[in-house]
Amino acid sequence: MANGGKVKVGIIGSQFQADIHATSLQIMPDTAEVVAVASPTPGNAAAFAKKFGIPRVFTDYREMLKEKDIEMVTIAAPNSLHAQMTRDCAEAGKHIVCEKPLAMTIAEGEEMIAVAKKHSVLLMYGEELLFTPKYLKAKEMADAGAFGKIYLVKQSEKHFGPHSEWFWDVNRSGGGAFMDLGCHGIAFAYWFMDRSPIKSIYCQMGTYVHGNKTQAEDDSLCILEFANGAAALIENSWAHRGGMDDRIEVHGEAGVTYANLHMGNALPTYSEHGYGYAVEKAPSTTGWTYPVFEELWNYGTPQELVHFARCARGIETPKVTGEDGLAIMHALYAGYASAGEGRKITMPFQSPAVKKPIDLWLNGPARRQTK
Ligand SMILES: NC(=O)c1ccc[n+]([C@@H]2O[C@H](COP(=O)([O-])OP(=O)(O)OC[C@H]3O[C@@H](n4cnc5c(N)ncnc54)[C@H](O)[C@@H]3O)[C@@H](O)[C@H]2O)c1
């Protein structure tokens, strides 16, 4: 890499995850710095830049990509834009951090990987659960043999639904709770199993609470079987009350560990008056609440982005890539097909190249019968 000093980063997007990216790089400021932000809504990028002290502001991200000194771009925009943005970043010679899920379709995901290769840039996949300190500890213990042979891993992420309108529109998101949150759980389990191939998927999903605002599923259960003989259970919800809930369990023949990401890092608190902020997506701060401390550090996003910046300089090798994102996309498709057809799907599954994942559930015979 030609540049010395800190890795110069541009962020596409200026809302939820963009804020996490900028904050994360300020938490760990030694390796990388955000020098530009691009977001189309007038005033948003400027306000974001002011908040974080970012010198360059763009309403069109393509203009930002012309900045020669930017080495790495993080894509924190709706899922339906990931493919086009990745293509543009690659063509501009920028290393890419693409937020999850990788894309809307398999065809898009494959093209993203190909275009990054063609232009010799890295396509890194934003899955912070591989950097979450508490979950890393579980993996380290597993690798050290603490639990013997592992037969079951569980991961669940649940809350009462996303903060932005586009998530609820399946044409912009590709799917509901399973697509949005299940991609984390599948990535986690796949990584925990040292990328043992996924052999089968069985999913159950429904729209239980938010049918007035989305076609998408707001709750899903997913069972994965791996080639190594172990299983994973992934539970996701946009219908879960009480703020964000993210947890894992690891079960082996010689032991078990449980990790609750939020409650386990919280101060059980009672307040009549409330206070500023408890935790992501918490509905209030009065009564009993569980405020977390060092929230982003506990998620692992600063560690993730610093690792990616070091990869951009060739100092480290990406721990999670576009190829991982694509493997997860295949699993998502199989999961939606399973719920749509009401049966276990054996992998490899011929994911349709262009339909979005949720179509396999929305149009599936099992859903049509129960709707
Ligand atoms: N890793 C995680 O835990 C996590 C958490 C939240 C979101 N995400 C992912 O991050 C991505 C963004 O989600 P979010 O929650 O920040 O959404 P958001 O709605 O809060 O923000 C989306 C941003 O994209 C911008 N945008 C829209 N069209 C654009 C365009 N044409 N050019 C440039 N910017 C454009 C919007 O202006 C906005 O700033 C999604 O893919 C989402 O799945 C990941």
Cβ–ligand 1 contact at 75 (below 6 Å) = no
The rounded Å distance from CA 39 to ligand 1 centre is 10
Cβ–ligand 1 contact at 114 (below 6 Å) = no
Encode the chain in three state secondary structure.
CCCCCCEEEEEECCCHHHHHHHHHHHHCCCCEEEEEEECCCCCHHHHHHHHHCCCEEECCHHHHCCCCCCCEEEECCCHHHHHHHHHHHHHCCCEEEEECCCCCCHHHHHHHHHHHHHCCCCEEEECHHHCCHHHHHHHHHHHCCCCCCEEEEEEEEECCCCCCHHHHCHHHHCCCHHHHHHHHHHHHHHHHCCCCCEEEEEEEEECCCCCCCCCCCCEEEEEEEECCCCEEEEEEECCCCCCCEEEEEEEECCEEEEEECCHHHECCEEECCCCCCCCCCCCCCCEEECCECCHHHHHCHHHHHHHHHHHHCCCCCCCCEHHHHHHHHHHHHHHHHHHHHCCCEECCCCCCCCCCCCHHHHCCHHHHHHC
Cβ–ligand 1 contact at 43 (below 6 Å) = no
Q: What average pLDDT does the segment 305-312 reach?
A: 98
Predicted pLDDT at 1: 43
Q: What average pLDDT does the segment 64-90 reach?
A: 98
Q: How confident is the model at residue 264 (pLDDT cuts 50, 70, 90)?
A: confident
Cβ–ligand 1 contact at 100 (below 6 Å) = yes
Predicted pLDDT at 3: 59
Q: What average pLDDT does the segment 111-134 reach?
A: 98
Task: Give pLDDT tens digits for 167-223.
Answer: 999 999 999 999 999 999 999 999 999 999 999 999 999 999 999 999 999 999 999
Protein residue with its CA nearest to atom 8 in ligand 1: 17
Q: What average pLDDT does the segment 270-284 reach?
A: 92
The rounded Å distance from CA 324 to ligand 1 centre is 20
Predicted pLDDT at 4: 79
Cβ–ligand 1 contact at 38 (below 6 Å) = yes
Protein residue with its CA nearest to atom 24 in ligand 1: 77
Cβ–ligand 1 contact at 16 (below 6 Å) = yes
Cβ–ligand 1 contact at 18 (below 6 Å) = yes
Q: What average pLDDT does the segment 120-124 reach?
A: 98
Give percent of the chain with pLDDT exceeding 90.
92
The rounded Å distance from CA 208 to ligand 1 centre is 25
Nearest atom within ligand 1 for CA of residue 162: 15
Task: Give pLDDT tens digits for 338-360.
Answer: 999 999 999 999 888 778 999 99
Q: What average pLDDT does the segment 289-305 reach?
A: 95
Checking if the pLDDT of 290 tops 70, the result is yes
Protein residue with its CA nearest to atom 5 in ligand 1: 17
Cβ–ligand 1 contact at 80 (below 6 Å) = no
Checking if the pLDDT of 276 tops 50, the result is yes
Cβ–ligand 1 contact at 88 (below 6 Å) = no
Protein residue with its CA nearest to atom 27 in ligand 1: 77
- Which of 39, 58, 85 to mutate for ligand 1's pocket (most ligand atoms within 8 Å of CB)? 39
The rounded Å distance from CA 167 to ligand 1 centre is 9
Checking if the pLDDT of 63 tops 50, the result is yes
